[in-house]
Amino acid sequence: MRRRRERTKEKKLQERSQKQLQDKVGDRKVSADLEENIRFISQVLGDGADLITRKFTIQYAPDRQAALLYLDGMSNVPLLDNFVLRPMMLQGEQVKNKTELWDLIFESLLHTGETKKQTEMRSMVESLLSGDAILFVDGCTEGAVIGAKGWQQRGVTDPKSESVIRGSREGFTENLRVNTALIRRRLKDPDLRMKNYKIGVRTNTNVSVMYIEGVVDDAVVKEVEDRLKSIELDGILESGYIEEMIEDTHWTPFPGIQNTERPDAAVANLLEGKICILVDGTPNVLIAPAVFSQFYASPEDYYERYLIATFLRGLRLVAFLTALLLPALYIAFISFHPEMIPSKLAIAMAAGRASVPFPSIVEALVMEISVEILREASVRLPGPIGPTIGIVGALVIGEAAVSAGLVSPLMVIVVGMTTISSYANPSYNAAISVRLLRFPFMIVAAAFGLYGIMMSLMILLVHLIQLRSFGVPYMSPLAPLRISDVKDTLIRVPWPWMKKRPVTFRPGDDRREGET
């Protein structure tokens, strides 16, 4: 951590990511010779097959050639055709002076909103690569960058991994701008800050950091920015790259940063004084800092009645413990503490296990691993047959395994309960860590029974308590206890009682009401 922060200071992201281009382009300026400009661009891009170069004559000045360059598929072609090429090629009246023409183009011939004059070749190439069109006119030492980003993209659809019954159906898309707009639309606050970074030496991925000035803890913003700037990687393809590059520690199965596909969840977190990191190319937005309890809260908790939400949170806690401990408890009860099971059940269990040739730990490990395989396979399976195979796997194989005497019927129930419980967790990345931790618990239970389980829980607890996410203790507000914040952890109180923001995230302005 320390080393990383030291590195942060010496280098700046912008310099580094542009170094690559620098090597090729240098600080070359736009030349007055049109052909030379075109040649240069196509050379920089290595005669890219998707580079479209449209040369044309401007109707105003028939002696003057011009060229529009854009990358096929990255730009909005109808826009360029109708509002760039058509006016230039069709609108008459001649103009003599060179500079006059260049001004005229900007004054009346370019019918697009986002246009910019540019002399640096380097930034022109950058714009070209990010989907804008560039325009050169013969005899001008300036080029124009025309904002025409318009590639094929998925529309705003349901968030797949975080569906709710009540609440917005919009989910983030792969487009950074659409995503920032989705947030802005919900948060019309002039204090909403958005800072852009380009991360990834080669991918030049756009990354936006959003927060509400005055609500957020400035130290955390600085920490996030420092860590973002320190990233040295050639490519950022998903927010997961960023997550791992900036998290506090790698030696934990628990996520230190939350991610969401839901704009409403992102806004709710911004309002709590957290920071959103949006990465171009992925619908998963990062939220930092994160604490343990928020992985067990669903956006819906805040939309449904508070009593129901509180009940659901309790239920999720039970599901969490079930997913983590049930197989371990099964092993502990079967092989260490059968006296704790009601006698009738114990007899039934003994009968069920009588034909099983393995000790319970092997039985449980085999079943749990098979279910994990099944789960993994059902993600890969082609859509329509996925559920079918799931049912076949779970029911048919389970049933067959029982009648073949490989596993006991109770084990099948245990595995089923465990699997289903782990799906009750609203956030996938926290659920997956529980799946991983289940196995050590099973092994410990097989060695020391309930005592072993408790000892491992102690170790797990101390690990969780040690963790921090951007300086915020991971188990807060439970340890350290902040009574005022418990209102939104295990329980959710009605909204009128939540007039203060959680102090856990040290907000600059802790009152929710009475602000402008």
Interface contacts to another protein, rule CB under 8 A: 1-2, 248-249, 251, 333-343, 346-356, 359-361, 403, 405, 409, 440, 443-444, 446-455, 458-459, 461-462, 465-466, 468, 471, 473, 475, 478-481
User: Residue 133 or 356: which CB sits closer to another protein?
Assistant: 356
Rounded to 10 deg, the angle between the 13-25 and 121-129 helix axes is: 110
To another protein, the closest distance from the beta carbon of 448 in angstroms equals 7
Residue 492 dihedral angles phi and psi, to the nearest 5°: -130, 120
Contact criterion met (CB below 8 Å) for 117 and 144: yes
To another protein, the closest distance from the beta carbon of 433 in angstroms equals 14
User: Residue 21 or 362: which CB sits closer to another protein?
Assistant: 362
User: Residue 77 or 465: which CB sits closer to another protein?
Assistant: 465
Could you tell me which of 205, 85, 77 has the C-alpha nearest to residue 152? 77
To another protein, the closest distance from the beta carbon of 229 in angstroms equals 19
User: Residue 239 or 489: which CB sits closer to another protein?
Assistant: 489
To another protein, the closest distance from the beta carbon of 333 in angstroms equals 8
User: Residue 315 or 454: which CB sits closer to another protein?
Assistant: 454
Type and span of the H or E element at 57? strand 51-58
User: Residue 49 or 354: which CB sits closer to another protein?
Assistant: 354
Contact criterion met (CB below 8 Å) for 112 and 147: yes
User: Residue 392 or 481: which CB sits closer to another protein?
Assistant: 481
What contacts 44, CB < 8 A, 6 or more positions away?
Answer: 24, 25, 125
To another protein, the closest distance from the beta carbon of 320 in angstroms equals 16
Residue 83: CA atoms inside 13 Å, Cβ hemisphere, count?
15
Contact criterion met (CB below 8 Å) for 460 and 437: yes
Burial (Cβ within 10 Å: 0-12, 13-18, ≥19) of residue 95: middle
Residue 478 dihedral angles phi and psi, to the nearest 5°: -90, -40
To another protein, the closest distance from the beta carbon of 237 in angstroms equals 25
Contact criterion met (CB below 8 Å) for 145 and 115: yes
Could you tell me which of 460, 475, 424, 425 has the C-alpha nearest to residue 328? 460
User: Residue 109 or 412: which CB sits closer to another protein?
Assistant: 412
To another protein, the closest distance from the beta carbon of 249 in angstroms equals 7
User: Residue 87 or 473: which CB sits closer to another protein?
Assistant: 473
The beta-strand segments (E) located in 386-467 are none
**CA separation (Å) from 14 to 228, 296, 349?**
11, 37, 65
**CA separation (Å) from 383 to 116, 159, 160, 161?**
46, 17, 14, 15
What contacts 359, CB < 8 A, 6 or more positions away?
Answer: 335, 446
User: Residue 283 or 502: which CB sits closer to another protein?
Assistant: 502
User: Residue 136 or 320: which CB sits closer to another protein?
Assistant: 320
To another protein, the closest distance from the beta carbon of 299 in angstroms equals 27
Contact criterion met (CB below 8 Å) for 40 and 121: yes
User: Residue 46 or 342: which CB sits closer to another protein?
Assistant: 342
- Tell me how far apart the alpha carbons of residues 397 and 382 are, in angstroms, rounded to a whole number: 20
To another protein, the closest distance from the beta carbon of 67 in angstroms equals 54
Contact criterion met (CB below 8 Å) for 364 and 330: yes
- Tell me how far apart the alpha carbons of residues 422 and 437 are, in angstroms, rounded to a whole number: 12
**Lookup: tokens for 95:** 């103009």
Which strand ranges, in their side-by-side order, compose the sheet holding 275-279?
192-199, 205-212, 275-279, 285-288, 258-260
To another protein, the closest distance from the beta carbon of 491 in angstroms equals 15
Degrees (nearest 5) of the Cα angle 382, 373, 294?
Answer: 90
Could you tell me which of 278, 276, 279, 280 has the C-alpha nearest to residue 289? 276
To another protein, the closest distance from the beta carbon of 447 in angstroms equals 4
To another protein, the closest distance from the beta carbon of 364 in angstroms equals 11
